[in-house]
Amino acid sequence: MKRSPAFIAAGAITGFTGVLIAHAGARVPLASGSHPLAGGSPGSSASAGASRPAAPAAHGGTGAGSGGPAHTVVGPGVNFGYGTIAVRVTVAGHRIVSVRVASLSTLEPTSQQISYQAIPILRSEVLSAQSASINAVSGATYTSEGYDRSLQVALDQLHA
């Protein structure tokens, strides 16, 4: 048990460093593959306090091997209590082939961190369930509910 203080100190330093980084970075670019929200349009970003309108937009494409043309819609920006989130969904045939966050603005760094941790889990749940009927992520209930509402509106637009 003599190593216990060393582990505690290392954990405290790591946690403090994470807080400093979260407070120092105002804008986080969403380059493809480098971030949990990757897949946003070029130049899009998520930042604390910044907001980007999420106008519903639909466009067609080709769904390679997915049974038909792909259609993409951006759901509305939904206020989830600690910020606003909008989801972009792509459907090919009757399958959801892609779900990304089109825009995210949070009120403080903690909410941003929670959202960044929850969004990949939510994405995975949607792709697995093939619907907006998913469970909320524990510890990110408000983010989960906002994500789900924006996704449901986008899916409703696709099926209208």
> Structural domain of residue 83, as residue ranges?
4-159
In whole angstroms, what is the distance from residue 146 CA to residue 73 CA? 16
In whole angstroms, what is the distance from residue 139 CA to residue 99 CA? 21
User: pTM of the prediction?
Assistant: 0.63
Q: What is the pLDDT of residue 141?
A: 94
Q: What is the pLDDT of residue 8?
A: 63
pLDDT < 70 positions in the chain: 1-67, 160
**Tens of pLDDT along 101-123?**
999 999 999 999 999 999 999 99
**Tens of pLDDT along 76-96?**
999 999 999 999 999 998 899
Q: How many domains does the chain have?
A: 1
